[in-house]
Amino acid sequence: MSLEVKVTDFERSYVRWRIDTTMQAAVTVSQPLPMTLNNVRAPLDARAVVTELATGRQRDFVLTVSCKAEQVWVEREVWHDPPADMCMIAAHDEFLVVKRWDRAGRTVMRYPPALGAQPERHREDPARCFDRYEIGRVERPGRLVASVGEITETLFTDTPAVAQMEYGTGGCHVLLEYPVKIVNFSERERYYQVDTGPVLLPELTDDDRPLIETLQLAFVAHNGSDWAEFLVCEPTAVTPEVKVHHYSRVVRLENVVHRLFAVSERECCCGASGGTLAACAFRPGARA
């Protein structure tokens, strides 16, 4: 019988936040808001759990899908100028906004400008920024598919697949979890190869940066062996004067453990979605 465990249901998991300017001033925006209240729901793209081996301290991070910087509730000129790609790396007590403009190194001013510049990566306190903030990570049963035969059979169906990868680095144990969006496979040559992203890749160093700031956006490829190769997004030169953010730097990890799960669609007693809420961040200032 195949092993069954709980895995993240990425299709039903979200980060939600709420700006209510009647409660506190907006400090993360770069344009004046035309409304007093705005709620955001952002699906999850990936998860990373980092555990310090010496202390047992564990940090759980999720990555939201990307959106484009926009002005909400307007009739025209929705997109910011210059346009920016934006996603969030979120933990229960902090978050990191990642913005990428047409070239690396750009910044824009916050609104009002007295708040200073908004750089490409900026770490924030949810209690300072939002009236409400929560991470709703839903779990579903996942059936471990271990053999190539089981994996290819699963991939011929419409069953969602979730991958987990574990390894040790820098005195830490790392668990990466992500939905398998793109995968190559052959029932004749009997192989499969994951090629998907973005995922979160911790690049742990000896400096004193907060752990969330070491997390990089990357794509991952592996074929079930004990290695994985990542393409990390970083400033990449296109001319001697101009750099853009591009998935260009290869990082290879050895001695990793891969697992692939077929996500169950069966319902359970916790609700019609069949999922269970695994994690929810505090909701600063939450009011009825």
DSSP-based three-state secondary structure for 11: helix
Residue whose token pair is 């979200």? 14
Q: Is the pLDDT of residue 271 over 60?
A: no
DSSP annotation of 56 = -
pLDDT digits (tens, 9 = 90+) for 68-127: 999 999 999 999 999 999 999 999 999 999 999 999 999 999 999 999 999 999 999 999
Percent of the chain with pLDDT over 90: 88
What pLDDT does residue 287 have?
47
Strands 161-169 and 132-144: unpaired
Tell me the pLDDT band of 3, cut-offs 50, 70 and 90: confident
Q: At 4, is the pLDDT very low, low, confident or very high (cuts 50, 70, 90)?
A: confident
pLDDT of residue 67: 98
What pLDDT shows up at residue 275? Answer: 63
Buried b (16+ CB within 10 A) or exposed e, 243-255: ebbbbeeeeebee
Look at residue 110 in the predicted model and tell me its pLDDT. 97
pLDDT given at position 136: 98
Q: What is the pLDDT of residues 83-98, one digit of tens each?
A: 999 999 999 999 999 9
In this prediction, residues 213-225 reach a mean pLDDT of 97
The H-or-E segment that residue 153 falls in is helix 148-155
Q: What is the mean pLDDT of residues 5-22?
A: 97
* Mean pLDDT (whole number) for 170-178: 97
Would you say 222 and 106 are in contact if contact means Cβ atoms under 8 Å apart?
A: no
pLDDT at 207: 76
Q: Would you say residue 194 has pLDDT above 80?
A: yes
Q: Tell whether the model's pLDDT for residue 135 goes beyond 60.
A: yes
More confident residue, 2 or 62: 62
Q: Is the pLDDT of residue 272 over 50?
A: no
Residue 273: predicted pLDDT:
42
DSSP class of residue 54 equals T
pLDDT value at residue 251: 98
- Per residue in 202-211, pLDDT tens? 999 877 899 9
What phi and psi, each to the nearest 5 degrees, are found at residue 66?
-85, 150
Q: What is the pLDDT of residue 91?
A: 98
Length, in residues, of the chain: 288
Do 47 and 200 touch, CB atoms closer than 8 A? yes
Mean pLDDT in residue range 233-239: 98
Q: Which of 3-7, 20-24, 132-136, 229-233 has the lowest mean pLDDT?
A: 3-7
